Amino acid sequence: MSSSFFKKDITIFKYIMKLTVYRFYLIPILFCFLFSGCKKTEIPEIPPITISIVPGEVKLANDSFFGAQLEVKIENLQPGESASVVWSSENPRIAWVTEKGVVWPDAAGETYILATMANGKGVARCKVTVTDGNDYKFRLVLKDKGQSNLSIINPESFLSPKAIERRRKRNIPIDASDLPISPEYIKAIQQIGGTIVAKSKWLNTVSVNCTNEFLADQYKALPFVKDVVLVWEGKRKVVNTTPKYSDVPQIGNNGTPDGALDYGSAFDNINTNNGQALHNKGFRGAGIDIAVIDAGFINFKTNPAFKNVNIKGAKSFVYENDNPYSVDSHGTWVTSCMATNLPGTYVGTAPEANYWLLRTEDESSEYPIEEDYWVNAIEYADSVGVDIVNSSLYYTTGYNFPSSRYKFEDMDGKTALATRGANVAASKGIFIVNCAGNEGSWVGTPADSPNVLAIGSVSRNLNIHIFTASGITVDGRIKPDVVAMGGGASVVNESGNSEARSGTSYASPIMCGLAACLWQAYPKLTNMELMQVIRQSADRAIKPEIPYGYGIANMQKAMELSKAITASR
């Protein structure tokens, strides 16, 4: 083997050895080159989109006229992405939100307003707390009255002796409609909360005042409740620190002198319907109990003009004020037309009658709850044995709730709540007189009832007053039934002085007092016969016409008609 060949081998061997040595350096270098040694250009991480609502929490008052503007704050929104959001409320019954992010209160409670991105990449929440300074009154319409712990076999436990006697005298049976609503039903309602402010055993209704309007859901869930109707909404009642009203009857010396009476400033009130024909025969309302359902009788018992009025009792059915003598003069003016007994100064149409003064009208507002009070009052009048009711109140289109305002089609004599209450009262033998109303259009409730004598107004010249409501009811009856002095009628005011006032409100008690005297004269008449006699005594009875109805009633003729009806009995 030549030396050159050997050298060549040595060279190759060294080369191989170098490669072997370098391998230990090159492989890591190559590895680093491939995986980390030669770094790529880094792509920065995209931070997530964040969305929030400003402010994050809102407090609103339910009785406020202002909402709250909410704004959306979005961070990390990429170019080209939409910033639009969709607004929504978790509970729209508490607070709702417009498409522009204005949140409005609706009811007391807590909820959340949501702002959801249209692309679905984010949602934000804002807590909304709604406070409520209002109270609410709901009418609970019951499916039935349930079982009473009282029995019609023992009516003395729920009716006065006079109420029982009226039924007996008129051959009116005491039945289940006279029984109160089940105590178990009342207890179940009270356990939910709220304060019961009115009840009707005739119409199966219970009216409740509460601070939380969502109690309506719980009332409706009761198995015996058919419907729940909002009948009043207003500022929460301020706690009344005055003592609870305690009624004390007034036994007045209401006898009148024999012979013709000197009516003083009330002469035209009496003379328009020839009322002196009754009075001259000694019929001045003695023994007749009249309930006046009205708006209030301010200072009536302290007014010297009414010292001779015999007041059996007074009661307010208005939840916010239990004193019938503390507010409003309307009932004072109305009652004066009948009850005042001051010969030579002022004598009303029934000076010797007995009176119950019942307040149902809330002068501060106009809501359907007043009909609940009215029905409650006439049921109370029935229970204490009242013979006649005068109501110078009416309800048509004036309610604060537009949905509760009556339409002409509702005046069919059987639909409105007060009308239904009047119909039942009439079936118990009570004679009801009601003003026709002063709106110059159709007659409202309860005067639309076929069992209520609706009274229109004439002035001294015997022409109809333009404000008198009149028309033909849905079921074809003419209203008013008759007319009496209402234009410039003389009343006694809260100061004890006489003054002239106009309205069917005064025509109604003038006629009511005369009806009491007529019933005293002919007690065998039924309440429906009494109504018919008064209609037929009027000057347009042969041909009734709007707006007079049957016309101006004449008490002399009414006595003649009554005598003919009762002669065979």
Q: What is the CATH number of the domain that holds 105?
A: 2.60.40.1080
The domain boundary, picked from 216, 235, 254, lies at 235
Q: Determine the average pLDDT of the residues in 322-351.
A: 97
Q: Residue 17: which pLDDT band, with cuts at 50, 70 and 90?
A: low
Does 525 map to a domain? yes
pLDDT at 329 over 60: yes
CA dihedral of residues 175, 177, 183, 187 (deg, nearest 10):
170
CB 409 within 8 A of CB 526: no
CATH code of 192's domain: 3.30.70
pLDDT of residue 39: 54
Domain that holds residue 55: 50-131
User: Does residue 175 sit in the same domain as residue 227?
Assistant: yes
Number of domains making up the chain:
3
User: Does residue 96 sit in the same domain as residue 167?
Assistant: no
pTM, full prediction: 0.88
Q: Determine the average pLDDT of the residues in 492-517.
A: 97
Q: Determine the average pLDDT of the residues in 478-492.
A: 98
CA dihedral of residues 161, 163, 166, 172 (deg, nearest 10):
-120
Q: Assign 435 to helix, strand or coil.
A: strand
User: Does residue 68 sit in the same domain as residue 85?
Assistant: yes
User: Does residue 196 sit in the same domain as residue 99?
Assistant: no
Q: Determine the average pLDDT of the residues in 550-558.
A: 98
Q: Determine the average pLDDT of the residues in 520-549.
A: 97
Does 6 map to a domain? no
pLDDT of residue 47: 84
Q: Residue 9: which pLDDT band, with cuts at 50, 70 and 90?
A: low
- pLDDT over 70 for what percent of the chain? 92
User: Does residue 193 sit in the same domain as residue 277?
Assistant: no
pLDDT of residue 126: 96
User: Does residue 506 sit in the same domain as residue 551?
Assistant: yes
CB 62 within 8 A of CB 93: no
User: Does residue 100 sit in the same domain as residue 231?
Assistant: no
pLDDT of residue 321: 93
User: Does residue 104 sit in the same domain as residue 143?
Assistant: no
For the ranges 2-6, 45-49, 285-289, the lowest mean pLDDT is seen at 2-6
pLDDT at 285 over 80: yes
Does 163 map to a domain? yes
The domain boundary, picked from 131, 146, 165, lies at 131
**More confident of the two residues 487 and 8:** 487
Specify the residue for token string 């016409």. 545
Q: Which residues contact 357 (CB under 8 A, 6 or more apart)?
A: 291, 292, 294, 297, 300, 311, 313, 314, 315, 324, 325, 331, 335
**Residue 507 identity (one-letter amino acid):** A
Q: Rounded to the nearest 5°, which phi and psi values hold at 361?
A: -95, 130
Average per-residue pLDDT for the chain: 92
User: Does residue 406 sit in the same domain as residue 551?
Assistant: yes
Does 247 map to a domain? no
- Give the orientation angle of helix 417-427 with respect to helix 369-383, to 10 degrees: 10
Does 522 map to a domain? yes
pLDDT at 248 over 80: yes
CATH code of 324's domain: 3.40.50.200
User: Does residue 118 sit in the same domain as residue 162?
Assistant: no
pLDDT of residue 295: 97
Does 293 map to a domain? yes
Give the pLDDT confidence of 254-284 residue by residue, as tens digits: 999 999 999 999 999 999 999 999 999 999 9
- pLDDT over 90 for what percent of the chain? 82
pLDDT at 32 over 60: no
